Amino acid sequence: MSGMTVGFIGLGSMGQGMAGNLVRAGYSVRVWNRSPQPVATLVEQGAEAADGIAGAFAAEVVVSMLANDDIVEQLLLDPALLTGARAAVHMNMATVSPALADRAEALHTEHGIGYLSAPVLGRPPVAAAGELSILTAGDPALLNRVEPLLAAIGRRTWNFGTHPRQANVAKIAVNFLVACAIESMAEACTLTEANGISTIDLVEMLTNTAFPGPIYGDYGPMVAERRYEPAGFRLTLGLKDVNLALTTGAEGHVPLPFGSILRDTFLDALANGDAEKDWAAITDVSRRRAGLPT
């Protein structure tokens, strides 16, 4: 049993698998979640239910996996919480804005707590298998301290600098590229279907020739078959990440013209009731524009 205690905050579809891998690796893990059922599931696996968020911050290292900036701000950037915390390091593994990372780093430093960004690449089954790719940034000494935790959660870690915000920018860039790939596949499939060609045949050819790899291999069939449920990554989260890309670009005077198109596509999908579907559901926006049934 490892001597390091870990507080884990946020047991959504990704966090459950990540926390479970830490438990299986032998760590003493104290878990907290706003809804109780995921906590009960992790306790059955060997975790301990934390006594609130403060109980999680009583551990040596805190790992958080929350949905967005607002929730992180509300729950974790509380000066009273950080004043009473015994944690030495907080590693935020969610996709949040660089601006939020800057605020979090400054506030944690003020209270003597290290802050790291370590967003991940992969869907829930990948998280459960401990095969995530992890993008990190922050103090090298702190990253070295949490390296065993990262090894239990993912298959490989990629470092992007000494400032936590840098990992968040890298993750936002990745999700922007994935959204672009889904949109381009949706348009290509709509074009072929409108001309009497099987989208399934097209995607099979593409993923075995010009576009091999996990993004086209995973999302191509979802686009071709219009298979959007169960959602591995909800469409609302996709819009959040496109907006993060646009905001980050605007702050640095970096134009992202495709980002504006993607934002409107996601808004169209939301307006048509697809909020809880996988973000591959933006395919139906392309189909509606072409007059194809959805």
Instruction: Give the Cα-Cα-Cα angle 12, 16, 17 (nearest 5 degrees).
Output: 130
What is the spatial distance between Cα 26 and Cα 178, in angstroms, rounded to a whole number? Answer: 34
Catalytic hit among 90, 165, 171, 234: 171
Which pair of structure tokens corresponds to residue 16?
């459950």
Contact 281, 274 (CB under 8 A): yes
**Beta strands per DSSP E along 184-243:** none
Tell me the CA distances in angstroms from 97 to 206, 240, 281, one per residue in order: 34, 10, 24
Is 171 labeled as catalytic in the residue annotation?
Answer: yes
Judge whether 6 and 49 are in contact, CB under 8 Å.
Answer: no
Q: Which amino acid is at 286?
A: S
| Helix (H) / strand (E) containing 31 | strand 28-32
Q: Three-state DSSP class for 71?
A: helix
| CA 123 from centre of chain | 8
Rounded-to-integer distance, Cα 188 and Cα 208, Å? 16
Give me the active site residues, please.
171
